[in-house]
Amino acid sequence: MAHARTTLLDRIATREARIGIIGVGYVGLPLAVVFAEAGFRVTGFDLSADRAATINRGVSYIEDIPSSTLANLVNRGLIEATTDMRRLQEMDAISVCVPTPLSKTRDPDMSAVLQAADDITRALHPGQLIVLESTTYPGTTREIFQPRFQERGFTVGHEVFLTFSPERVDPGRTDWTTKNTPKVMGGITPECLQVGRALYESAIQRVVPVSSPEAAEMAKLLENTFRAVNIGLVNEVQLMCDRLGLNAWEVIEAAATKPFGFMKFTPGPGLGGHCIPIDPLYLSWKLKTLDYTARFIELASEINTSMPRYWVQKVADALNDQSKSIRGSRVLVLGVAYKKDVSDVRESPALDIIHLLREKGAVVSYHDPHVSSIRIDDERVYGEPDLLAALAHSDCVIVATDHSSYDWQQNRAHAPTTIDTRNALKA
């Protein structure tokens, strides 16, 4: 049905196409804003009624999106949000931006993607474009979405169009945003890719086409596996330098002066965020089904997940040097977000550090200017309101997140002992 494709392309070109985005979190809301700023009417779909109501009030819960920007688009009728998945049938194009975490057994948890696929399939009609953005293993788009559409009697590439275009959001960045970060895209058919490119090129500066959804899925996993493996390498360098009596940061800075053949990565308390600790394990899981062991991924994961325990031992050693036991000592964790200057605590190694310290009997508190409370061991824990008082009453401070707003020299002056996982003190 060339008519379905031509009609959809015309609606995209004239900005008449209605855009639906399933999942309006760190990925979906910025994407909604970019499409709305390009002149499209966008509807965000989310399971959270509170989140939908917040959007409809023009209030942003994403640090990268100012409420003033969102409110302007809401007031102009370009962005709305709903929990009613039946309204997907009103959409000309639907982008899926739902989370893909790991299960307790560290296997892919595809429940949100499967639910989105089912919701879309129930609302599917000729002339719709579906774009999966959630990071996942190679084959997901073709294996999960296409069969459902075909069971409804639609031929992908003729009546409906299906592509994969992985999100590349890095919360807190202002240089590379949803609008100017190149967007990789692969379609089930050339016609699918044509329609997908037409939509995304209307709002995003550059779309990078690849031959298939699988190529696009693999490209995203390669990006984050590259980071995970290299972070694993420098974390092991930290462990080796510790044994050798060397300063790992000094060694890395010296190596980074080489103008070619070296890319600087830095050690820390472990991996955090919604991508790097998780995405490589999606690839590893997929390859296990093909009787292949992704050795680099498994080793890097082993090293990175061991780092919180390493730093907790450093706290114990520092307290021991003061003739104090970790049990009963007051330990202050500075920063619980997974990286500096954001409020996102997903997969944050600081949470593992707090859990391990509490296991050993430490009295643990935290301070983070971006995070008012966290959940640890099924308990809601609130941050210390007075940083200087918390520093003064602690037996040891561990720097887990190097937020820019911290005065590190002042913190050092008020803290009795500091364990610095980020080299924030430049010791």
Looking at the annotation, which residues are catalytic? 275
Q: Are 129 and 161 in contact (CB under 8 A)?
A: yes
**Strands 396-399, 379-382: pairing kind:** unpaired
Name the DSSP class of 145.
Answer: I
Residue type, 353: I
Name the DSSP class of 160.
Answer: B
- The owner of tokens 């399933």 is 22
Angle, CA 247 vertex, CA 170 and CA 322 arms, to 5°: 105
Rounded-to-integer distance, Cα 118 and Cα 57, Å? 29
Which is it for the CA torsion 333, 340, 99, 80, positive or negative?
positive
Residue type, 157: G
Backbone angles phi, psi at 86, to 5 degrees: -65, -25
Tokens of 280: 């490589």
Burial per residue of 319-358, b for 16 or more beta-carbon CB atoms within 10 angstroms, e otherwise: beeeebebeebbbbbbbbbbbbbbbbbbbbbbbbbbebbb
Task: For the chain, give the number of residues.
Answer: 427
